[in-house]
A and B are shown apart, each in its own frame.
Chain A
């Protein structure tokens, strides 16, 4: 009989725990809400007596001006393009590095490498993925630029400055290669074996099977991984801040320094500026741009991946 009484207590016990855990899970929604609120209230519309960024600077100027000098007064210029082009340059260069390296690794590991080789390669790539980005920034500034870029480009009579976007793009590319490799490997592996067998039975070489049947079948998943890597590169902060310098320029010259959106945000928060000043507010404007950009890319990538899963389930 005592079982029945403890059962009731158990049930109340359960409900309490259940509610507690629900709160934990709901915290993530709260976080997103907080991010959106903070960005919007400082960039778009501020409650109370604070003035948000876009209440002082027009959206037109933000989106069309080609100069970025977030200071008070007449000398202030608030065009996002220098920062945006800096970010895009680094992200594009990183894609040029990471896409062949990552996809090549994925194809090699699924189609050609033996099991022991794979057991060695996978942890190595995970190791690469675990290295903090400050390390890559250091490597870019102290080794890639002086020992790789300067000599090689010197042969072509090109001058590369100490802080440059090219070295930043290269190391960010190396950084995101494991992401493309592991995601692409997953989708390639999920292509049914029967498809490969059918291709073999029709007199294909291994190259035919890989590139004419398997990769095309996995293409949307592979594309999704490219997009995710691009979004990671857009959001990358420390490596770029070290390697590319802090000077926002409009010209897309990878051999010279530039500043990315993320680099500027770090700079703006560590500088001495009043909480209400326009330079502090501009940080939020850049922040909301960054947030929306990465969100958009991630949503598209996720949509492509979901569509791919439907095809094979």
Chain B
């Protein structure tokens, strides 16, 4: 690639994220092989293969409609909720192919959690929101639940703000607080992998900052895959970045490399803003 391209100012990373990480030494928490995805007759993902290393953050970037959200949702089989979808290929999580019809998606989703773009707190109390996952899974012990709720709220950096009003309605929280509540709620099912679909796009810059710092803290214990249309965010927050375009995985590699010297021209064009 030409050296005289405009100096891409890559913003500093979030604390805890080493963007030059050589991921080949890590075991893969998610191993996707030759994934094709169809909405009815329309094919939206073409032969995608991707490895997501354990306890790292992988960012999926690309222009709108490129299939990154669809790809994310296949990782916890959320696309099953939509009629007429099908996929071929394999996706290995915990050494099991989750595309296998023998897989119970309820168990899968306890292990692979998801945070959505629009925060969706249940119209219940803060405590009941976080405790929902464990309760539904069968946990009845009140002491265990209370401990779990506290630890998850702490991990989501929300405990200090709500510890005195755990039993008030979650709908009264601000947008940023609600999103952190949704993160705490996801953590409560004790997943190993957390999927995030544009988690901060509906938030103000200060809240976005907090979420990004949170990601930096969480990746020490969880594998995180985050879809974002905000390239600065992707470059700040992830170890590995994957660029999607029109349903195909164009390029994947360590974040620093992708943003400073991408291998593919399409990647470079997208990052420098020539399209998308």
Binding site for B on A (CB under 8 A): 192, 194-195, 197-205, 208, 212-213, 216-217, 311
Contacts and interface: CB of A to CB of B under 8 A. Distances in A.
Given A194-B120, A201-B114, A213-B122, 13 more contacts: A194-B116, A197-B120, A198-B116, A198-B120, A198-B185, A200-B109, A201-B113, A202-B189, A203-B107, A203-B109, A203-B110, A204-B136, A212-B136
Contacts, number: 60
B33 interface: no
A211 B122 CA distance: 13
B267 interface: no
A212 B132 contact: yes
A198 B110 CA distance: 12
Contacts of B205: none
A216 B189 CA distance: 21
9 contacts: A195-B120, A197-B78, A199-B122, A200-B78, A202-B189, A203-B108, A203-B136, A204-B136, A217-B123
At the interface, is chain B mostly helix, strand, loop or mixed? helix
Interface string B174-194: 000000001001100100000
A216 B186 CA distance: 20
Contacts of B110: 202-203
Contacts of A202: 109-110, 113, 132-133, 136, 185-186, 189
A198 B122 CA distance: 9
B10 interface: no
A201 B109 CA distance: 6
A195 B106 CA distance: 17
Interface of B: 76, 78, 81, 106-110, 113-114, 116, 118, 120, 122-124, 132-133, 136-137, 171, 182, 185-186, 189
Nearest to B108: A203
**Of listed A195, A198, A212, A217, residue having the most chain B CB within 10 A:** A198
A192 B122 CA distance: 11
B116 A197 contact: yes
A192 B120 contact: yes
A55 B189 CA distance: 69
A311 B120 contact: no
A199 B81 CA distance: 12
B184 to A, nearest CB: 12
B186 A200 contact: no
Nearest to B78: A201
The 4 closest A-B pairs by CB, nearest first: A203-B110, A201-B114, A203-B109, A198-B120
B193 to A, nearest CB: 12
Contacts of A192: 120
B46 to A, nearest CB: 25
A199 B132 CA distance: 9
Contacts of A199: 122, 132
A234 to B, nearest CB: 31
Contacts of B189: 202-203
Nearest to A205: B106
B122 A217 contact: yes
A197 B185 CA distance: 14
